[in-house]
Chains A and B, each alone.
Chain A
Amino acid sequence: MKRIILNLKIAIRSLMNFKLRTTLAVLGVFLGTFSLIVVSNLSDSLAKKTQIEAEKLGKNLLIVRSGIVRRFGSSTRLLSEATTLMTHDAGAILDGSRLVKDASSSGNKNFPVRYGNVVLKSILVMGIMPNYSEIRNFRAKHGRFINEGDNTSLSKVAVIGTKVAEKLFGKQDPMGKHILIWRVPCEVIGIMEEKGLDISGLDQDNQIFVPLNTYLRRFVNKDYVNSISVQVINEQSIPLAKAEIEDILRKRHNIQKDQEDDFSVIDLKDVMALKTQAIHMIKILGRVSAVVSFLIGGLGILSIMILIVNERRIEIGIRRAVGSRKRDIILQFLLEASFISFSGGTLGVILSMGTSILIFLIAKLPFIFSPAGYAFSFFASIAVGILAGIYPSRRATKIQPVDVIKS
């Protein structure tokens, strides 16, 4: 150990004579490590965020929407409405496919909402079944959610989102108060937990939930629903479950082979695929830039080591004269080369840590430090040094004392 330290001390002092080149070599490895770690941290964090978002929407979720729906990027548009999706369809899906764990129909429409003097012109009102909460992973924070009794008795009750509560009531407690939704006075029985935007950009805190039957009879006076949320038993079964649901509904809606569906089954994973693709691109770009930086760093180290070996021919001759073997010389120069790259790597690890934290804070991303990124860049930075040191150190062993020590 003492030998290594002594050799390194001497090496560092001789590197001081090539400050610019040493800096460039260190910088190359630094950039390699830096981009590798930042990108793996960032992509891991984005992946985690997407996963969190997906789970927020509900686990293993498929959404059946009435009418023909087209996807544009991450948002969906209803092209033509249909009046064929019934609440019974939810039950039929649940009974018809063993891959379906639960299904919940819902209707939605925008209505004006009023409390006292405050009027909100257009708030999304969702008519839902009690199991909606479970399937969509969305619960009441205060009070309670809609239950079976509310639904069968067509109760005039409402559970409101936090934003709605804030706008209507300000600092007052909304619980037990009556709000006027369109022409129906409803008692506030609960306030939902905060949820933020869903994947299509809809603010989920800015909506009101009422029992589905209340919604159908008292609000829209219709017997068809807009969508059915379906929970599949597990992730792998989602594609198959989708096909089964399509089959069941086509039969129930009497759709012929050559006819287009009057509904769409949406897999949110497809919607998220775009995001996943973007993350993938970032990953690839990051890796490419890391490889390029490591290459530059490696070449930098190679050139500086060749220079150093030439500069220190006499030193090598002296060391050989006082008893160093060829492999001692090789080890010495490999150590020096990997020391250069390792200091670049260490710098990269430290700075990338700080940068990642900064990015996470600014972009409000989950804090994730990719262990693979750190491990790989650690090994890469040492490996680059060793690889770049092989040729120069082999050259160094060609130097014989009798060639350089002259009297």
Chain B
Amino acid sequence: MPLCLMENIRKTFHSGAIEVEVLKSINLRLERREFVAIMGTSGSGKTTLMNIIGCLDTPTSGRYVLADKEVSHLSDDELSFIRNEHIGFVFQNFYLLPYATVLENVLLPTLYVDKHKDNREQQAVDLLQLVGLKERIRFKPNQLSGGEQQRVAIARALVNDPDLLLADEPTGQLDSKTAEEIMNLLREMNTRGKTVLLITHDQNVAAYAQRTVQIKDGIILE
């Protein structure tokens, strides 16, 4: 079974009396350990697609199976659980908690795991070492550069050992040299066995992926 399987996914938004169909029959298949980029311009529906893949939103119709589980019609709390266990997010704007230290930010997803594990903090420190920030674990996000903040976000995304690493324009706020470092880091995570899904509009960034999927006007172009 693939890690993600989308069949006939549609998403319609209502804005007053007007119906906007943002996603029109999306079919998508993502194997485990793949590194895939979804490319599209703004307004193409790629953000909506990412939200559905990331279980932040539900499709209007269609079938979505993530890690052998049908997730298209789960409740809000069930989706929280799926996100916590199976998905790690990396966002364009990093989205770290400003009042929390680097280590606390990385530990955030572990707060919502029901199963008790003792080695969480060690795992977080190991991940911070992996992304090269072991010396900064007591820092606050605003004491870090953009690239460092994105590394923290990557460590946070990995702390619950998810199946899927979902990166939405991860280099959008970074200069080209730092962007390269972050992309190399994502590629390294992929070689270490993570499935990585990249959402971008940037050809150079998409080039890091093994496979690129184009989306336009809510339809995937093959």
Contact = CB atoms under 8 A, between A and B. Distances in A.
B81 A323 contact: yes
Contacts of B89: 321-322
B156 A322 contact: yes
A288 B36 CA distance: 67
Contact of A324 (B80, B95, B160): B80
B146 interface: no
Interface stretch (A3-11, A47-55, A195-203): A3-11
A328 B109 CA distance: 12
Given A318-B108, A325-B77, A328-B112, A13 B99 contact: yes
A327 B77 CA distance: 9
B62 interface: no
A6 B104 contact: yes
Contacts of B221: none
A366 interface: no
Interface string A359-395: 0000000000000000000000000000000000000
A111 to B, nearest CB: 83
A96 interface: no
Contact of A326 (B57, B77, B85, B109): B77
Interface in B156-179: 156, 160, 168-169, 172
Interface in A298-353: 314-315, 317-328
Interface in B59-96: 76-77, 80-81, 83-85, 89, 91-93, 95-96
Contacts, number: 78
Given A13-B99, A402-B51, A402-B57, A322 B91 contact: no
A161 B19 CA distance: 101
A314 to B, nearest CB: 7
Contacts of B76: 325-326
B84 A10 contact: no
Contact of A407 (B47, B85, B96): B47
A315 to B, nearest CB: 5
B104 A322 contact: no
A9 B111 CA distance: 13
A371 to B, nearest CB: 37
A266 B79 CA distance: 78
A10 B97 contact: yes
Contacts of A401: 56
B138 to A, nearest CB: 12
A317 B54 CA distance: 14
Nearest to B200: A407
Contacts of A319: 108, 112
B99 to A, nearest CB: 4
B4 interface: no
B68 to A, nearest CB: 19
Nearest to B109: A322
B111 A324 contact: yes
Contact count band on B: 20 to 34
B84 A322 contact: yes
B83 A321 contact: yes
Contact of B95 (A9, A318, A323, A325): A318
B203 to A, nearest CB: 17
A406 B93 CA distance: 8
B213 interface: no
B26 interface: no
A122 interface: no
B91 A323 contact: no
A3 B95 contact: no
A401 B57 CA distance: 9
B109 A10 contact: no
Given A6-B104, A405-B95, A323 B57 contact: no
Given A9-B104, A407-B47, A321 B56 contact: yes
B152 interface: no
Contacts of A137: none
Interface string A229-259: 0000000000000000000000000000000
Contacts of A318: 95-97, 108
A6 B124 CA distance: 14
B53 interface: no
B81 A3 contact: no
Contacts of A325: 76-77, 80-81, 112
Most buried by B among A3, A7, A318, A406: A318
B91 A324 contact: no
B198 interface: no
Contacts of B54: 321
Given A6-B104, A323-B109, A407-B172, A314 B95 contact: yes
Given A321-B56, A324-B111, A325-B77, A10 B99 contact: yes
Contacts of B38: none
B103 to A, nearest CB: 10
B77 A322 contact: no
B169 A407 contact: yes
A324 B57 contact: no
B111 to A, nearest CB: 5
A147 interface: no
6 contacts: A319-B108, A320-B80, A321-B54, A323-B84, A325-B81, A325-B112
Given A322-B109, A323-B81, 7 more contacts: A10-B100, A13-B100, A318-B108, A319-B108, A321-B89, A400-B56, A401-B56
Interface of A: 3, 6-7, 9-10, 13-14, 314-315, 317-328, 400-402, 405-407
Q: Which 5 pairs, one residue from A and one from B, show the smallest C-beta to C-beta distance?
A: A323-B84, A13-B99, A322-B109, A323-B112, A325-B77
